[in-house]
Amino acid sequence: MEKRLTRTEMLFSLGFLFMLVFAVAAFFYGVKIGSDKTEAKLIENAKHLSSSKNPSVGAYQQQDLVSFYHTVFLPYREFQSNWFETIHKLSSQQLTDISSALKELSNIAEQKYDEAEHASVSKSSPLLESAQLQLLKSLRMFSEAAQRGAGSAKDMNNAELLKALMKDAYYTQGVKFAMAGQQSYYTAMLKWSASVNPNIPDHYDTTSVLSIQQWKPLPLTIKNKLMADMLDARKTLAPFYPQDLASRVDQFIVSGQASSMKMKTVDSIVDLLISTEAVRSGDFSDSKAELYAKELLPQLPFFFPVSE
């Protein structure tokens, strides 16, 4: 004989379900509010800066790209290096105090946020303004993700915590904003190269799958931009730069590996290289002299290392 729920039990069950739905909605609303606050604060600061300084004469000058690298992109990349180092130690059981390590990671994200937030970006370079905003959002999201991970450290083993971190909504939003910021920066580099060399288009998007034959003759600034596009589309957070991925794609083609594997598209090569972890930070520098000796590039440290 079925046991029917009493009125009190029914009300309690409905109340519990309502509270659960409300809690989930409140969490995602909190993620959005955190992102919006970052955007609003940056916009207000940008207004103040623009009212006190004259805008640059031309858009995407090399000095703007260099300034952005040192004041915005480098702080973000320094945090990213700390993030990968901590995650590696977590996955390889090298952390003695996981909670403290993640709290420190959260603090580093906030420190780098403060550095990048106060950077002055040329008002005549909207792509750089967008990149700054996106990278600031990413740092704020990563800080929240690390803080949440620190709070969960005592209740999970390393594998469970790592899995939870990778699925955390703050982390996934952080990756989304980071890749969008990087994509805007590399698009700005393409705009700069087009202003220096009229044979280079200032806009290049692929509406369909990119074939190897289409890829081969492209200038390096377009290739780098396309790799930033692909990393953005895949929401892939990686320690390497877009130019490292571009150089590995070119090496894969030049070596004959693409032909022997009957691969026809750049997309398939990128998927293979990423899935097999075949790209490393520094791959571009290793192949630069051989593949890109005559390519036009802005004078940025990751294109022209001090050792050169």
Residue 24 resides in a domain: no
> Strand pairing partners for 211?
265
Residue 12 resides in a domain: no
Residue 94 resides in a domain: yes
pLDDT at 53 over 90: no
Does one domain contain both 125 and 175?
Answer: yes
Q: Where are the beta strands (DSSP E) in the chain?
A: none
State the total domains in the chain.
Answer: 2
Tens-digit pLDDT profile for residues 42-52: 544 444 434 33
Does one domain contain both 192 and 63?
Answer: yes
Supply the range of the domain harboring residue 282: 204-291
Report in angstroms the alpha-carbon separations of 74 from 65, 71, 112, 204, 301: 12, 6, 9, 26, 10
Does one domain contain both 278 and 162?
Answer: no
Distance CA(300)–CA(279), nearest Å, equals 21
Does one domain contain both 185 and 213?
Answer: no
Does one domain contain both 219 and 118?
Answer: no
* Least confident range of 19-28, 218-227, 252-261: 19-28
Residue 18 resides in a domain: no
Give 5's DSSP letter. P
Does one domain contain both 107 and 183?
Answer: yes
Residue 304 resides in a domain: no
Does one domain contain both 68 and 187?
Answer: yes
pLDDT at 307: 57
Residue 139 resides in a domain: yes
pLDDT at 23: 53
End position of a domain, from candidates 151, 168, 197: 197
